[in-house]
Amino acid sequence: MDEGPFIEAFSAWVRDHVATHVPFVAEVDGDAVGMAWLMVADRVPNSDPQRRRFGDIQSVYVVPELRDRRIGAALLAAVLAVARGLELEHVTVHSSDRGAALSAFGVPARATLAPLVARVARRMIALRAPVVCGG
Amino acid sequence: MAARKDGLAGTYVALAERHNRAGLNEPVAPTVGRDIHKRVTAGGWMRVTVRRASADDAAVLAGLRFRWLTESGDAVNWTRVLSSRLSPPG
């Protein structure tokens, strides 16, 4: 794959989705070394007058040479801080088998069943009190 | 890790280990204020800045995504797939 056309196509995708996919960048000495995304979407309305939105954490990445230094955890801390600021009801994450995202939420990245469980698990983080009317 | 919100709006600062501690898996506690400068200059820590990006960072994000896809071996045909997902012009 040629890098040039990919950069052009992906940049266009970013610009096209910036309203729903909030990006975060981790930098060291001015160099971008990691990223994370917070997808924000509406839930189906109910009688709650408050707008019902939730978030999904996607594509958490740290360059290989700087892994295992908790840069991913710093990214997720910032993502969750913004998610709270946006008053999202909850945030979900679908982790890879590396489990970095799950680890940041207190689930051991290298637990016994981590490669299998982390691939299929969705962990939900409640950010505000549940509303009376469910659904 | 609880990232500390910096003076700049939307910027979060944390510390991470500059040197790999293979096998130790020690948790790294974030520190604030003067401790950051002290530990950075001591060479054992590095300052990681996490900020909310924007459309202006599209190329940077694309570069990271390209590196990821190349690393994982999933790069084949991604440019074509991406192009097909974009809204038609106009």
Count the neighbouring beta carbons within 10 Å of the beta carbon of residue A55. 25
Are the beta carbons of B48 and A28 separated by less than 8 Å?
yes
- Contact between A9 and B82 using a beta-carbon 8 Å cutoff: yes
- A108 vs A43: CA distance, rounded Å: 30
- Which residues from chain B sit within 8 angstroms of residue A68, using beta carbons? 20, 25
Of A6, A13, A28, which has the smallest distance from its Cβ to B46's Cβ? Answer: A28
Most confidently predicted of A49-53, B2-6, B41-45, B75-79:
A49-53
Q: What is the pLDDT of residue A23?
A: 95
Question: Does B86 contact A at CB distance below 8 Å?
Answer: yes
Q: Which DSSP helix (H) or strand (E) runs through A127?
A: none
Which band of pLDDT confidence, cut at 50, 70 and 90, is reported for residue B1?
very low
The residue length of chain B stands at 90
Confidence at residue B80, expressed as pLDDT on a 0 to 100 scale: 64
Averages of pLDDT over each 10 residues, chain A, 135 residues: 86 94 88 93 84 88 83 83 84 65 46 36 50 35
d(CA A122, CA A102): 9
Search chain B and give the residue with CA nearest A58.
B65
Mean pLDDT of B71-86: 66
Q: Hey, are the CB atoms on A35 and B61 less than 8 Å from each other?
A: yes
Handedness of CA A122, A74, A110, B72 (dihedral sign): positive
* ipTM exceeds 0.90: no
Instruction: Output the pTM of the full model.
Output: 0.68
Section B57-83 average pLDDT: 80
Distance from the Cα of B35 to chain A's closest Cα (Å) equals 17
